[in-house]
């Protein structure tokens, strides 16, 4: 690891961390807190995906819908209006909206072929955004003079890596540049995440084989055809299974490539000193 023990971490003039966990366990909150302290550069993977790698997809999709409205179509065709994505660290909705949900088009669902195409676009984008971490570490220091760096990953990072492969491209690249830190939740956290998701289901990215197996199982269980599936019902049904699927992947990433901190301890972090202590306690003495 980049910091073999607690002393090396505390003494390091440049602290670099990659946080990974399910969405909703405090990665972005702590990243924003550290950025606000003045010495940390916050690299958001989801923001990078939405602005650099999927920006055109998102805007073109909005334009496609606008072109169906004669009034807007005329304005677009004459360059009289501009359509853009107002994505920010605090509003990543354009990315999830573009990903969409499969199922009944009358309920906002996408045909499975189109859904898979967008999932593949997201996978390519997230892989590249993760591999861009080294560039942003250098950029943060050279351009802005930030001594410290925190990478706030999306919950789907585990879908594109093999924690047991010592030559895994993404994990090798990240671990050479920063300390990998898993924010581990409890069963109570999992129950709360499921409750939140059930209340407001949001699109997610899945490994292709997991998605295919889940879709086939859902159709068999419900007896529905793909164009009759309620999109929200399907992703609610899939969410708890996705959590269970991701848990051993996160565990493997922490075991083989980094360290683990508890989500309840991360939630108590109020400043840079608290964060430094939290990571030091996760490292060997």
List pLDDT tens digits, range 72-123.
Answer: 999 999 999 989 888 887 788 889 999 999 999 999 999 999 999 999 999 9
What is the band of 1 on the pLDDT scale with cuts at 50, 70, 90?
confident
Distance CA 157, CA 170 (A): 9
Tens digit of each residue's pLDDT (9 = 90 or more) over 224-256: 999 999 999 999 999 999 999 999 999 999 999
The predicted pLDDT at position 220 comes to 97
The predicted pLDDT at position 91 comes to 81
Distance CA 252, CA 41 (A): 27
Distance CA 111, CA 130 (A): 29
The predicted pLDDT at position 137 comes to 97
Distance CA 89, CA 80 (A): 29
What is the band of 54 on the pLDDT scale with cuts at 50, 70, 90?
very high
Q: Share the mean pLDDT of the chain.
A: 95
The predicted pLDDT at position 279 comes to 98
- pLDDT higher at 92 or 265: 265
CB atoms within 10 A of CB 185: 23
The predicted pLDDT at position 243 comes to 93
| Contact criterion met (CB below 8 Å) for 130 and 175 | no
R_g of the chain computed on alpha carbons: 20
> Under 8 Å CB-to-CB from 271, ≥6 apart: which residues?
33, 37
Residue with the two structure tokens 């999927």: 54
The predicted pLDDT at position 272 comes to 97
Lowest mean pLDDT among 55-59, 146-150, 271-275: 55-59
Q: Where are the domains of the chain?
A: 6-45+115-275
Please name which of 91, 85, 160 lies closest in space to residue 130, comparing C-alpha atoms.
160
The predicted pLDDT at position 89 comes to 75
Please name which of 102, 67, 109, 62 lies closest in space to residue 86, comparing C-alpha atoms.
62
Q: What's the rounded mean pLDDT across residues 32-42?
A: 95
Lowest mean pLDDT among 142-156, 162-176, 195-209: 195-209
The predicted pLDDT at position 176 comes to 97
Give the 3-state secondary structure of residue 43: strand
Distance CA 102, CA 109 (A): 5
As beta bridge partners, residue 260 has: 182
Cα dihedral across residues 198, 202, 206, 211: positive or negative: positive
Tokens for 101, please give them. Answer: 């949900």
Q: What's the rounded mean pLDDT across residues 143-167?
A: 97
What is the band of 126 on the pLDDT scale with cuts at 50, 70, 90?
very high
| Longest pairwise C-alpha distance within the chain | 67
Q: Regarding the domain with residue range 6-45+115-275, which homologous superfamily does it belong to in the CATH classification?
A: P-loop containing nucleotide triphosphate hydrolases (3.40.50.300)
């Amino acid at each position: 690891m980049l910091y073999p023990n607690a002393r090396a971490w505390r003494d390091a003039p440049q602290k670099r961390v990659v946080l990974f966990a399910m969405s909703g366990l405090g990665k972005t909150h702590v990243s924003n807190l550290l950025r606000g302290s003045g010495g940390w550069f916050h690299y958001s993977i989801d923001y990078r995906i939405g602005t650099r790698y999927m920006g055109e997809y998102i805007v073109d999709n909005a334009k496609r819908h606008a072109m169906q409205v004669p009034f807007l179509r005329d304005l677009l065709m004459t360059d009289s209006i501009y359509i853009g994505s107002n994505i920010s660290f605090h509003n990543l909705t354009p990315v999830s909206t573009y990903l969409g949900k499969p199922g009944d088009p009358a309920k906002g669902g996408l045909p499975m072929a189109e859904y898979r195409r967008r999932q593949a676009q997201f996978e390519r984008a997230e892989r590249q955004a993760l591999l861009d971490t080294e560039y942003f570490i250098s950029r943060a220091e050279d351009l802005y003079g930030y001594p410290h760096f925190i990478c706030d990953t999306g919950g789907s990072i585990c879908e594109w890596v093999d924690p047991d492969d010592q030559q895994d491209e993404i994990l090798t690249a990240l671990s050479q540049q920063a300390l990998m830190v898993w924010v581990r939740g409890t069963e109570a956290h999992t129950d709360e995440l499921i409750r939140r998701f059930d209340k407001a289901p949001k699109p997610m990215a899945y490994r292709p084989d997991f998605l295919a197996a889940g879709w086939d199982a859902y159709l068999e269980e419900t007896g529905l055809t793909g164009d009759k599936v309620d999109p929200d019902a399907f992703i609610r049904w899939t969410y708890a299974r996705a959590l269970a699927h991701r848990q051993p992947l996160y565990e493997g990433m922490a075991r083989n490539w980094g360290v683990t901190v508890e989500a309840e301890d991360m939630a108590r972090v109020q400043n840079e000193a608290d964060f430094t202590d939290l990571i030091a306690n996760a490292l060997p003495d």
